[in-house]
Amino acid sequence: MYFNENMKEQEIKTDVKKKTFTDTEAMRASEEYFKGDKLAARVWINKYALKDSDGNLYELTPDDMHKRLTREIHRIENKYENPMSEELIYSLLKDFKYIVPQGGPMSGIGNDMQIVSLSNCFVIGHTNTTTDSYGGILKIDQEQVQLMKRRGGVGHDLSHLRPKGSPVKNSALTSTGIVPFMERYSNTTREVAQDGRRGALMLSVSIKHPDSEEFIDAKLTQGKVTGANVSVKITDDFMNSLVNDEKFVQQYPIDERSPKFIRETDPKKIWKKIIHNAWKSAEPGILFWDTIINESVADCYDDLGYKTVSTNPCGEIPLCPYDSCRLLAINLYSYVESPFTKDAKFNFDKFKEHVGYAQKIMDDIIDLELEKIDGILAKINSDPEDIEIKRVERKLWENIKKKAQEGRRTGVGITAEGDMLAALGLTYGSEDAIDFATEVHKTIAIEAYRSSVNMAKERGFFSIYDAQRERNNPFINRIKASDPELVEDMEKWGRRNISLLTIAPTGTTSLMTQTTSGIEPVFRPFYTRRRKVNPNDPESRVDFTDEQGDNWEEYKVFHHNFMTWLNVNKYDVEEVKNMSDEDLNKIVEKSPYHKATAADIDYISKVKMQGSIQKWVDHSISVTINMPENVSEETVGDCYLEACRSGCKGITVYREGSRDGVLVSNDKKDKKQSREFEIKRPKVL
């Protein structure tokens, strides 16, 4: 067993509610916990420390939080056979070393001071795909608000709305189409506060919809649709029409055999628009919809209410209406032994065991979420409003509870992919790195599914499991080819969870693990930040004065594991910190982070890596292809085509400078030239 056998049980059972702490006390203690990392300390206090509605803090450091999570997870474990001990659970969570519940689970588990959900992601929608009345539109608007106020990110699809100019039987005479309702849902998102942050929304539409071009252009108007991410659902038919230079048929309703409206269009024109807009504004993202549906294990149960209709705001969890998902990240860097040395190796034995534990913890979190939903429903029932006012909200949470109970969907993912590869001496994006990363994710898939099957033996399978329905699913058949006995056991005993895996962005999570984020490479081994100073303070240093006359001190920030590499290789860290950028870059060239940053990696290699790993992730992957400012539109198109060809479920690009407020580098040089790209017929497995 890979945990501390000597862990004292009373260390875990500290009652964190006995005392409150000031922000100053928590900041000081947490900064020490994070070894001087003020940003990590501030993020933890603001987002995850236990606090009441008056702002009183009940946790001093993340260790208090990990004890809170441990107690609650162990309480659920005790409901079932062979429970994990508190000591084991704590050892997995402690110091963010191995298993990290993300977002809602981290802040909400064991938190009785706010009425919140533990789910990170929700999708809402209509079971009738032609519902486009104002009643249906406003129902979705209200459901979006109700979920966002409980801290959840929301996605929904607009393909059910009739296209612009369609006749309607009201005083308007014709429909306004999709775009005005994009603005409505976007504005709603901006109105809902979530503990100091805005809500998160994904709007999607099928490329088959006649208004898809207007949807694609909607965000180009400054100030419009600023509260939503947007993605276009691209079908195989569209891609085949594109590469074969054929007309593409759009229709409404999009899936009817006898549609009310049909229009032929030029797919190259639409494709060019998508590429141009992504180049200009980083949106829309693309969802390769037939790949998503064909690969989806949950869609084997589409006629039972599990037909995927949209994704969460970052695109890593495609969902059916009223399903939700909770996220957890495994810290890959922690499984590298002797990192950054010639003896570095990945401990697959420990990793396999921990993946199984991670899946158990995720299943426990579903039970904890069901308790939270019961609390939300009790709150709704006790509210003094009229039953008609509460009806939509109550039905919403009843639907979500049903899906959580029935499917028990989980979102086991990872963080620190970039650091793991660097610590093993592998260059992110190289063939060796892609092969190794794929093996790691294959291991996650097999061991998580094994854990789910083992839980089915002890806890029962998800209630609609049917092995026959899954016989032709490509993902299940990959597992079968690699581990036939596992699938034999699954067909005999069932599986606890309908779908299990994802790779989410891990922004604040990676700040606390002090690693690279999610599947991404390191942004930069070092960069410069500024902090405002008072020039009259004798201890201050003024390095920059802005146009308003404010004075700033500049200082370098180093990636944590680049610092680890420096220490392993006997560099004088304090001396390195004071070097010029030119001298620092010479040192970076000797490190495994050389040519492995977000700006350095060959775009096509990164897309191929995403596609290779995607084959072992039953949901999807949130990843961004970073490009320099003067990259060509052709190159963006190259990446999108390669994503289709490689089996990616979606793709997003970010061209430096295409959005305000995003971190930019000083190097504007495009190291990649536009290249000729032979268009081949896309193949979807």
pLDDT attached to residue 13: 53
Model pLDDT for residues 61-92, shown as the tens digit of each residue: 999 999 999 999 999 999 999 999 999 999 99
Model pLDDT for residues 538-550, shown as the tens digit of each residue: 777 888 888 778 8
Q: Lowest mean pLDDT: which of 218-227, 462-471, 574-583?
A: 218-227
pLDDT at 250 over 80: yes
For residues 584-596, average pLDDT: 96
Q: Does the residue 550 lie in any domain?
A: yes
Do 469 and 562 share a domain, yes or no? no
> By C-alpha distance, which of 214, 158, 212 is closest to 185?
158
Do 393 and 486 share a domain, yes or no? yes
Using an 8 Å Cβ cutoff, are 312 and 91 in contact? no
What backbone torsions phi and psi does residue 299 show, to the nearest 5 degrees?
A: -70, -5
- Boundary (domain end) residue, out of 493, 512, 541: 493
pLDDT at 15 over 80: no
Model pLDDT for residues 429-449, shown as the tens digit of each residue: 999 999 999 999 999 999 999
Do 372 and 426 share a domain, yes or no? yes
pLDDT attached to residue 486: 98
Q: Does the residue 168 lie in any domain?
A: no
Do 412 and 531 share a domain, yes or no? no
Q: Does the residue 489 lie in any domain?
A: yes
Do 465 and 566 share a domain, yes or no? no
pLDDT at 36 over 60: yes
For residues 44-57, average pLDDT: 93
pLDDT at 175 over 90: no
Q: When comparing pLDDT for 28 and 135, which is higher? A: 28
Using an 8 Å Cβ cutoff, are 253 and 167 in contact? no
Using an 8 Å Cβ cutoff, are 60 and 25 in contact? yes
Q: Give the pair of three-digit tokens for residue 120.
A: 């990170």
State CA 86 to chain mean position distance: 28
Q: Lowest mean pLDDT: which of 218-232, 256-270, 513-527?
A: 218-232
pLDDT at 5 over 50: no
pLDDT attached to residue 12: 52
pLDDT at 1 over 80: no
Q: Which residues pair with 325 in a beta bridge?
A: 121
pLDDT at 531 over 80: no
pLDDT attached to residue 170: 59
Do 444 and 546 share a domain, yes or no? no
pLDDT attached to residue 527: 85
* Residue 546 domain boundaries: 525-588
Is the alpha carbon torsion for 221, 225, 227, 233 positive or negative? Answer: negative
Q: Does the residue 458 lie in any domain?
A: yes
What integer best gives the mean pLDDT of the chain? 90
To which residue do tokens 């009259």 refer? 536
Do 486 and 533 share a domain, yes or no? no
pLDDT attached to residue 129: 60
Amino acid at residue number 29: A
59 band by pLDDT with thresholds 50, 70 and 90:
very high
663 band by pLDDT with thresholds 50, 70 and 90:
very low
Q: Does the residue 363 lie in any domain?
A: yes
Q: When comparing pLDDT for 532 and 39, which is higher? A: 39
pLDDT at 638 over 70: yes
Do 444 and 543 share a domain, yes or no? no
Q: Lowest mean pLDDT: which of 105-119, 180-194, 348-362?
A: 180-194
Q: Give the pair of three-digit tokens for residue 226.
A: 């600023």
pLDDT attached to residue 156: 97
Do 457 and 414 share a domain, yes or no? yes
Interacting residues of 75 by C-beta distance below 8 A, sequence separation 6+: none
Q: Does the residue 81 lie in any domain?
A: yes
pLDDT attached to residue 678: 34
What is the H or E stretch that residue 233 is in?
A: strand 229-234
- Boundary (domain end) residue, out of 441, 472, 493: 493
- Boundary (domain end) residue, out of 435, 469, 493: 493
**Torsion-angle region of residue 73: left (phi > 0), alpha (psi -120 to 50) or beta?**
alpha
> By C-alpha distance, which of 602, 118, 82, 559 is closest to 360?
82
pLDDT at 422 over 80: yes
pTM of the model: 0.92
461 band by pLDDT with thresholds 50, 70 and 90:
very high
Task: Give how many domains the chain has, as a whole number.
Answer: 2
Gyration radius from the chain CA atoms: 25
Q: Does the residue 272 lie in any domain?
A: no
Judged by DSSP in three states, 644 sits in helix
Task: Count CB-CB contacts under 10 A for residue 258.
Answer: 7
Vertex 25, ends 43 and 71: CA angle to 5°? 70
Q: Lowest mean pLDDT: which of 142-146, 207-211, 552-556?
A: 552-556
| Rounded percentage of the chain residues whose pLDDT exceeds 90 | 79
pLDDT attached to residue 683: 35
DSSP state of 162: P
Instruction: Give helix 267-281 / helix 633-646 axis angle, nearest 10°.
Output: 110
Q: Give the pair of three-digit tokens for residue 208.
A: 């088959």
Using an 8 Å Cβ cutoff, are 516 and 417 in contact? yes
Reported for 486-491, long-range contacts at CB under 8 A and 24+ positions apart, including other chains, are 486/446, 486/449, 486/450, 486/453, 489/453, 490/449, 490/453, 490/456, 491/467
Model pLDDT for residues 276-319, shown as the tens digit of each residue: 999 999 999 999 999 999 999 999 999 999 999 999 999 999 99
Do 25 and 84 share a domain, yes or no? yes
Do 486 and 440 share a domain, yes or no? yes
For residues 417-427, average pLDDT: 98
Model pLDDT for residues 604-635, shown as the tens digit of each residue: 999 999 999 999 999 999 999 999 999 999 99
Pairing of strands 336-337, 318-319: unpaired
Question: Cis bond leading into 592, ω under 30°?
Answer: no
Do 563 and 484 share a domain, yes or no? no
Q: Does the residue 243 lie in any domain?
A: no
Q: Give the pair of three-digit tokens for residue 195.
A: 């503990």
State CA 424 to chain mean position distance: 25
pLDDT at 361 over 50: yes
- Residues present in the chain in total: 685
Model pLDDT for residues 335-355, shown as the tens digit of each residue: 999 999 999 999 999 999 999
pLDDT attached to residue 550: 83
What do you get for the CA distance between the two ends of the chain, in Å?
39
Pairing of strands 201-206, 229-234: parallel
